[in-house]
Amino acid sequence: MKLYLTALGCRLNEAEIESLARQAAALGWRIVEAPAQADWAVINTCTVTHVAARKSRQAIRRLRRENPGLRVAVIGCYGEMAPEEARALDGVELVLPNAHKEHLLGHLLAEMPPQVLPRADEAQPPPGSRTRAFVKVQDGCDNRCTYCIVTVARGRSRSRPPDEVLADIRRRLDEGAQEVVLSGVNIGAYGRDRPGQGPLPESAGWSLARLVRHILESTDVRRLRLSSIEPWDLTEELLALWPHPRLCRQLHLPLQSGSDAVLRRMGRPMAVAPFGELVAAARRRVPEMLLSTDLIVGFPGETEADFQQTLQVAEALAFGRLHVFRYSPRPGTPAAHMEGAVSPAVAQQRSERLIALGDALALAYHRRFVGQQVQVLFEAPVTHEGAPGWSGLTDHYLRVWAPGEGDLHNRLCAVRCLAADAEGLRGELA
* 322-370 per-position pLDDT tens digit: 999 999 999 889 999 999 999 999 999 999 999 999 999 999 999 999 9
Q: Which of 87, 122, 157 is the last residue of a domain?
A: 122
In terms of domains, do 62 and 148 share one? no
In a domain, 47, yes or no: yes
Q: What integer pLDDT is reported at residue 127 of this predicted model?
A: 59
178-214 residue pLDDT tens: 999 999 999 999 999 866 554 444 435 899 999 999 9
Q: What integer pLDDT is reported at residue 201 of this predicted model?
A: 43
In a domain, 145, yes or no: yes
In a domain, 148, yes or no: yes
Report the run of H or E that residue 159 belongs to, with start and end. Answer: strand 158-159
Asked if pLDDT for residue 296 goes beyond 80, the answer is yes
In terms of domains, do 166 and 215 share one? yes
In a domain, 173, yes or no: yes
Per the structure, the complete domain to which residue 160 belongs is given by: 132-367
In this structure, the strands spanning 138-139 and 179-183 are unpaired
What is d(CA 118, CA 27) in angstroms, rounded to the nearest whole number?
7
In terms of domains, do 205 and 320 share one? yes
In terms of domains, do 187 and 260 share one? yes
In a domain, 127, yes or no: no
Asked if pLDDT for residue 419 goes beyond 50, the answer is yes
* Domains contained in the chain, number: 3
Q: Which of 350, 367, 384 is the last residue of a domain?
A: 367
Contacts of residue 199, Cβ cutoff 8 Å, sequence gap at least 6: none
Please check whether residue 224 is in contact with residue 246, taking contact to mean a CB–CB distance below 8 angstroms.
yes
What is d(CA 168, CA 174) in angstroms, rounded to the nearest whole number?
10
Q: Which of 65, 91, 122 is the last residue of a domain?
A: 122
What is the value of pTM for the model shown? Answer: 0.87
Phi first, then psi: what are they for 297, rounded to 5°?
Answer: -110, 155
In terms of domains, do 360 and 379 share one? no
The CATH number given to whatever domain includes residue 25 is 3.40.50.12160
The CATH number given to whatever domain includes residue 417 is 2.40.50
What is d(CA 51, CA 63) in angstroms, rounded to the nearest whole number?
18
In terms of domains, do 351 and 419 share one? no
217-246 residue pLDDT tens: 999 999 999 999 999 999 999 999 998 999
Q: What integer pLDDT is reported at residue 28 of this predicted model?
A: 83
In terms of domains, do 286 and 410 share one? no
In terms of domains, do 359 and 382 share one? no
In terms of domains, do 285 and 335 share one? yes
In terms of domains, do 185 and 68 share one? no
In a domain, 199, yes or no: yes
In terms of domains, do 104 and 154 share one? no
Question: For the purposes of burial, counting CB atoms within 10 Å of the CB of 216, is it exposed (0-12), middle (13-18) or buried (19 or more)?
Answer: middle
In a domain, 333, yes or no: yes
Q: Within 10 Å of residue 54's Cβ, how many Cβ atoms?
A: 12
In terms of domains, do 180 and 308 share one? yes
In a domain, 240, yes or no: yes
The CATH number given to whatever domain includes residue 208 is 3.80.30.20
